[in-house]
Amino acid sequence: MGISMRVGYVQTSPVLGDVARNVDSALALASGEEADLLVFPELFNTGYLFLNKKDLSKVAEPIPEGPTTKKLMRFAAEHSVSVIAGIAEKEGSKFYNSAVVINSDGDYLGTYRKLHLFSTEKLVFEPGNLGLQVFDLGKIRVGVMICFDWIFPEAARVLSLKGAHLIAHSANLVLPYAQTAMLARSIENRVFTITANRIGSEERNGMRLSFTGMSQITSPSMKILKRA
């Protein structure tokens, strides 16, 4: 391609339900980075372990009208950086595990809704209905996946066939396999990947989840270019 870009991930540890704190702390971390593209984790603004839809409804937001997307748009414009970030989306009475895509001018480009829901996510979120999408960020075309999408090789292949040069992978990984699998997705499809995972743990109603961190950037030659 002959294109030079500075890309990165923002690895966060959100507090469940504290949207304002989570967004502000993530943007504070990101503000110290000089990059053309930054990828944030899945559900970076809300945390992960929702008990039911009523619980989720307290923090889910419309996109792009919601406060989190608006803050991301302002941040992108102020720092001249494209942003891809995982958000709990509300549309009418339905909820989606989504990622917003914003360019370096602060323009909202679109939303990807997670296709492959993991475990108890199925109790509160609807499966994505917008398909696998590739977004033009000027220098490159970026495909978007969210967390458990990684386990289905067809997802990365579709994004590659649609012209993605890079796959942005917002995640809340709890299993130890995805970081290695994303190396395979890179070489299989001749794409770079950015996995932005979270750290920390959440516990509710006897269920405890610990998140594996190790956010990373991989190359088409199956190399880890950067890992947290």
Q: pLDDT tens across 131-147, in order?
A: 999 999 998 999 999 99
Distance of CA 126 to CAs 20, 25, 211, Å?
Answer: 24, 28, 23
Which are the catalytic amino acids?
A: 42, 114, 147
- Give me the CATH number covering residue 188: 3.60.110.10
Q: Is residue 50 part of a domain?
A: yes
Summarize pLDDT for 20-73 with one digit per residue, the tens: 999 999 999 999 889 999 999 999 999 999 999 999 999 999 999 999 999 999
Q: Is residue 195 part of a domain?
A: yes
Contact (Cβ atoms closer than 8 angstroms) between residue 118 and residue 147: yes
Alpha helices in the chain (DSSP H): 19-30, 53-57, 67-79, 153-161, 178-189
Confidence (pTM): 0.97
Domain total in the chain: 1
Q: Is residue 1 part of a domain?
A: no
Closest CA to 67 of 93, 80, 85: 85
Distance, CA of 85 to CA of 67 (rounded, Å): 13
Closest CA to 155 of 183, 116, 190, 99: 116
Q: What is the amino acid identity at position 118?
A: F
Residue ranges making up the domain that contains 32: 7-227
- 3-34 per-residue burial string, b: 16 or more CB within 10 A, e: under 16: eebebbbbbbebebeebeebbebbbeebeeee
Summarize pLDDT for 184-210 with one digit per residue, the tens: 999 999 999 999 999 999 999 899 999
Contact (Cβ atoms closer than 8 angstroms) between residue 39 and residue 71: no
